[in-house]
């Protein structure tokens, strides 16, 4: 009998064969899997792995700056860092929070919450300075990273804050120039793509790519930073001293229409705009309308003279009271019958005298001149929220509308509109549209100057000259604004003390708006300055409250702009016929 292999159960040969077959099967499975991974799905899996490693970050564009007329920055964007965390890499969030809290000035428990969890990306703090990140980076904390960003700052704090505005948390302009020029200032963001390895380190590979950000354009204003500072300080001071609800001032170049200063009190700091109330952030010089009161008599006087109905020395017999359409009109002081000239009625701010003078011309002419002076029309300064003012259409006039409008009530305007009325008279009767934007500057440095403002003749040059002489009488002997005088300079202007309309009841509630708008030098006009003090609790008249503020602001502006003193004496117009 021949020899045969021993394949009995449990024999060594049989066990070897089974092991060999098992090994072959496992190897086959691995081989099949390897072929699947490398040949069949290799490219897809590699792409998926790469996708997990790739990070794409947005590179924020630097927002354009906002500059004053000389190029000084009122708003700029600076480099900053957002601190981020990969929570899966942080073993002890509480311990990391202890390290970060004093640097970020954030409570430890808040930071610990932000660092705990399984999120691969989490913001820890936004907009910190590069030096703050350097301090954090030196700690070499696992899972703590940063990414480049930018931060908006306002170097001058509250200076011109109502004009400049602020940037909201989402990066868009929330008010002022920041809002109305948001698209131009914003620029275009870029992108950076890179591979991230364990611990968040960047892996230098051919998959890195970047698209550069394009910065926004700059916006240059007509505002003079130094004049703005003085105007703002003066307005803040009069609000405090008088207990007023608010006050505004505008300084305007009468020849160009450029706004050199626009101050509103109370003000706010755009670096901390969330701490200010909405009404504190409102640019009242363009948004708030009010009845101008006696400063509106300038329009009436100009219309009367330009229509040839009367002249500065035309006599007017002014009674103690005047009835029209069942209503009795009074002056702010009690008096018997006065024999005044038109200049006297204007300089002494007689409501009755101005009504009688206005009745010498057709009623429709007063409305026509108000429209030509810009009442009920937006000035289109380029700032958001500007009001057009309010004036009744001729068909809606009541029987008392005309006499009321003749002395400056019955219509509403803004500080800018009323200051522009005086600038028009000072400019020889030619109205120049106000402007606050000087130029925009492209990222490559190209300067795009704003086109020249539109000009429109409202009254004749001779009429403007006569009204200017009447306005000088307001500041002279017997006028209502001796406190507006500036040594060495001739000043022309008009006071106003108008009843304040309560928006809740739409009625006169006893409060007033005290104002003074003036021009200097009166013999060679350069500046028109308007000051309005709303709802003062201490003091009441425009000559008492607003005229000194005018003097302070205008004195500084004349010196800052090196405008020479007056060379001629002021004309003397008689206020009475007696």
For the stretch 81-114, pLDDT in tens is: 999 999 999 999 999 999 999 999 999 999 999 9
pTM for the whole structure: 0.84
Residue among 484, 386, 415, 155 nearest 264 (CA): 415
- The mean pLDDT of 480-492, rounded to a whole number, is 97
**How, if at all, do strands 209-211 and 246-253 pair?**
unpaired
Q: Is the pLDDT of residue 227 over 60?
A: yes
Query: Does 341 have pLDDT greater than 70?
Result: yes
pLDDT at 43 over 90: no
The pLDDT value given to residue 1: 47
The catalytically annotated residue of 180, 294, 350, 515 is 294
pLDDT for the residue numbered 210: 75
pLDDT at 51 > cutoff 60: no
DSSP letters spanning 417-458: HHHHHHHHHHTTTEEE--B-EEEEE-TT--EEEPPPPPEEE-
Give the whole-number percent of the chain exceeding pLDDT 90: 77
Q: How confident is the model at residue 23 (pLDDT cuts 50, 70, 90)?
A: confident
**Mean pLDDT, rounded, for 228-243:** 98
- Residue 43 has phi, psi (to 5 degrees) of -65, -40
Question: What does each C-alpha distance from 528 to 246, 352, 381, 465 come to in angstroms?
Answer: 21, 27, 17, 15
Say yes or no to pLDDT of 197 above 80: no
Tokens in use for 66? 């906002």
Contact 421, 374 (CB under 8 A): yes
**pLDDT (average), residues 188-207:** 64
Residue 205 has pLDDT above 90, yes or no: no
pLDDT at 191: 77
Contacts of 548 (CB under 8 A, 6+ apart): 483, 484
Q: Length of the chain, please?
A: 578
Q: Is 515 a catalytic residue?
A: no
């Amino acid at each position: 009998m021949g020899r045969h292999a021993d394949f009995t159960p449990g024999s060594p040969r049989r066990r070897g064969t089974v092991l060999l077959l098992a090994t072959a099967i496992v190897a086959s499975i691995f081989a099949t899997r390897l072929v699947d991974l490398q040949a069949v799905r290799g490219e897809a899996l590699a792409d998926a792995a790469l996708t997990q490693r790739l990070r794409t970050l947005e590179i924020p564009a630097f927002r354009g700056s906002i500059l004053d007329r000389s190029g000084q920055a009122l708003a700029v964007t600076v480099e900053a860092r957002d601190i981020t965390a990969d929570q899966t890499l942080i073993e002890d969030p509480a311990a990391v929070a202890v390290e970060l809290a004093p640097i970020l000035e954030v409570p430890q428990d808040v930071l610990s919450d932000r660092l705990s969890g399984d999120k691969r990306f989490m913001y820890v703090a936004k907009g910190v300075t590069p030096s703050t990140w350097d301090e954090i980076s030196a700690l070499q904390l696992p899972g703590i990273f940063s990414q480049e960003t930018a931060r908006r700052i306002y170097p001058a704090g509250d200076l011109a804050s109502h004009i400049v505005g602020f940037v909201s948390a989402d990066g868009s302009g929330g008010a002022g120039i920041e809002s109305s020029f948001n698209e131009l200032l914003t620029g275009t963001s870029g992108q950076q793509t890179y591979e991230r390895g364990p611990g968040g380190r960047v892996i230098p590979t051919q998959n890195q790519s970047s698209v550069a950000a394009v910065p926004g354009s700059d916006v240059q204003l007509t505002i003079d930073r130094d004049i703005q500072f003085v105007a703002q300080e003066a307005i803040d001071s009069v609000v405090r001293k008088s207990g007023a609800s608010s006050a505004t001032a505008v300084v305007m170049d009468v020849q160009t229409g450029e706004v050199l200063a626009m101050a509103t009190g109370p003000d706010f700091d755009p670096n901390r705009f969330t701490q200010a109330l909405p009404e504190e952030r409102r640019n009242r010089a363009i948004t708030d309308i009010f009845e101008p009161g006696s400063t509106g008599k300038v329009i009436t006087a100009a219309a009367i003279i330009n229509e040839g109905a009367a002249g500065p020395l035309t006599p007017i017999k002014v009674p103690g009271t005047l009835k029209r359409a069942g209503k009795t009109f009074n002056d702010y002081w009690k008096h018997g019958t006065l024999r005044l000239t038109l200049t006297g009625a204007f300089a002494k701010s007689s409501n009755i005298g101005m009504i009688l003078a206005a009745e010498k011309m057709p009623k429709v002419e007063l409305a026509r001149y108000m429209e030509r002076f810009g009442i009920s029309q937006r000035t289109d300064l380029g700032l958001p929220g500007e009001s057009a003012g309010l004036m009744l259409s001729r068909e809606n006039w009541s029987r008392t509308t005309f006499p009321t409008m003749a002395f400056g009530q019955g219509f509403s305007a803004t500080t800018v509109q009323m200051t522009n009325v005086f600038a028009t008279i000072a400019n020889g009767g030619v109205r120049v549209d106000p402007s606050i934007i000087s130029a925009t500057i492209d990222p490559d440095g190209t300067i795009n100057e704003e086109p020249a403002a539109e000009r429109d003749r409202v009254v004749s040059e001779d009429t403007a000259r006569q009204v200017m002489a009447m306005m000088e009488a307001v500041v002279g002997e017997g006028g209502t604004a001796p406190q507006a005088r500036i040594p060495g300079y001739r000043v022309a202007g008009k006071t106003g003390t108008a009843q304040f309309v309560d928006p809740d009841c739409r009625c006169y509630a006893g409060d007033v708006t005290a104002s003074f708008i003036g021009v200097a030098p009166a013999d060679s006009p350069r500046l028109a300055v308007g000051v309005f003090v709303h709802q003062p609790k201490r003091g009441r008249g425009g000559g008492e409250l607003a005229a000194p503020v005018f003097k302070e602001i205008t004195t500084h502006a004349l010196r800052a702009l090196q405008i020479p003193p007056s060379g001629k004496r002021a004309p003397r117009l008689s206020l009475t016929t007696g």
